[in-house]
A and B are shown apart, each in its own frame.
Chain A
Amino acid sequence: MDRNHLKRQVDFMKRSFLDQGYLDEQFIQLEELQDDDNPNFVEEIVTLFFNDSARLLQNIEQALVSGPIDFPSLDNYMHQFKGSSSSIGAKRVKNECTRFKEYCTAGNAEGCLRTFVQVKQEHAILKTKLETYFQLAKQAGPSGTSGGQIR
């Protein structure tokens, strides 16, 4: 497939992620940091995010199902998870984290459990979408995901 066409597809995909609220401006900022010296920066960061966050989600799940809920621990895990989510521009994930935090602060176990399902769902959806995005970007070749092209 024509490389320009692929690049247009990459840009279109990114625009749709932004329009549908999966990602926000922070993701564009990450792409601005990518250059010839660090051509895979965004994919590396996103990979690190999904590796780290899988562990955090597991810790949260564990804390939710074992015995009386330790809300301070939950708060701690969610703090880290939200921090990294917002730092990569994972907008929907970040919003679910905020909802979870509200229930956690209120000591509402049922609310935490319910919201956590949404957190995991948005996390999984984003992972799939970004995997597809980076695969397409690789096919598009160098600068397939360079920033500054889409706002």
Chain B
Amino acid sequence: MGAAVDHVTPMGMSGGSAEGNDKSEGQRFSCKSKLTALVVDNGGVCRAIQTALLRSYGVETEAVETGEAAVELIASGATFSLIIIEMLLPFMNGPGTAKQIRAMGAQSKILGITAFFDRRDRQEFLAAGADDFIEKPLSPEIVIPIIRELDN
């Protein structure tokens, strides 16, 4: 049930650590340390956008389509600073995936993400080991503080 890892064309990453997204001065916010991320989403559009956004901040990002593929990847030894997991995945759902990842001892920051925010889904995800739960879209307002936190 594992899916191939997506290798979305990497975005060009401008240097500098200027805040926000303002490119008018040719600078874009970028992480200071080597950070890695895994996007787990069965939707191609969301996978591509989330991956591109994270990479634009200098985060080395991979993407998979299923919870099973994410678990396989981590079981094979891959480690990630941040894992973003969609709530509704085809087989093992988002919380189930988070639970398995935590059971393997992963210390990653786990962000649950969904199309329609639901309090019960939030509770389920947090109980499974996620650190936070948001409604799509993944935006710079969400990502930049997370990267800063991971950088420190």
Contacts and interface: CB of A to CB of B under 8 A. Distances in A.
Given A48-B48, A86-B137, A98-B116, A33 B53 contact: yes
A2 interface: no
B26 to A, nearest CB: 10
A143 to B, nearest CB: 11
A80 B115 contact: yes
14 contacts: A29-B137, A32-B140, A33-B11, A37-B11, A52-B44, A79-B115, A80-B43, A83-B41, A83-B43, A87-B49, A88-B45, A89-B137, A97-B115, A101-B116
Contact of A29 (B21, B44, B136): B21
Interface string B50-77: 1011001000000000000000000000
Contacts, number: 87
A92 to B, nearest CB: 15
Contacts of B12: 35-38
- What does DSSP make chain A's interface, helix, strand, loop or mixed? helix
B136 A87 contact: yes
Nearest to A25: B139
Interface of A: 26, 29-30, 32-33, 35-38, 41, 45, 48-49, 52, 76, 79-80, 82-84, 86-89, 97-98, 101, 147-148
Nearest to B52: A33
B149 interface: no
Given A33-B56, A148-B22, A148-B24, A76 B88 contact: yes
B42 to A, nearest CB: 7
Interface of B: 9-12, 14, 21-24, 41-46, 48-50, 52-53, 56, 86-88, 114-116, 135-140
Contacts of A86: 115, 135-137
- What does DSSP make chain B's interface, helix, strand, loop or mixed? loop
List the 5 closest A-B pairs by CB distance, nearest first: A37-B12, A83-B115, A84-B45, A82-B115, A87-B137
Contact of A84 (B10, B21, B43, B53): B43
B118 to A, nearest CB: 10
B111 to A, nearest CB: 14
Contacts of B45: 45, 48-49, 52, 84, 87-88
Given A32-B23, A98-B116, A148-B21, 20 more contacts: A29-B137, A33-B56, A35-B12, A37-B12, A41-B11, A41-B52, A48-B44, A49-B45, A79-B87, A79-B114, A80-B43, A83-B86, A83-B114, A83-B115, A84-B45, A84-B46, A87-B136, A89-B137, A147-B21, A147-B23
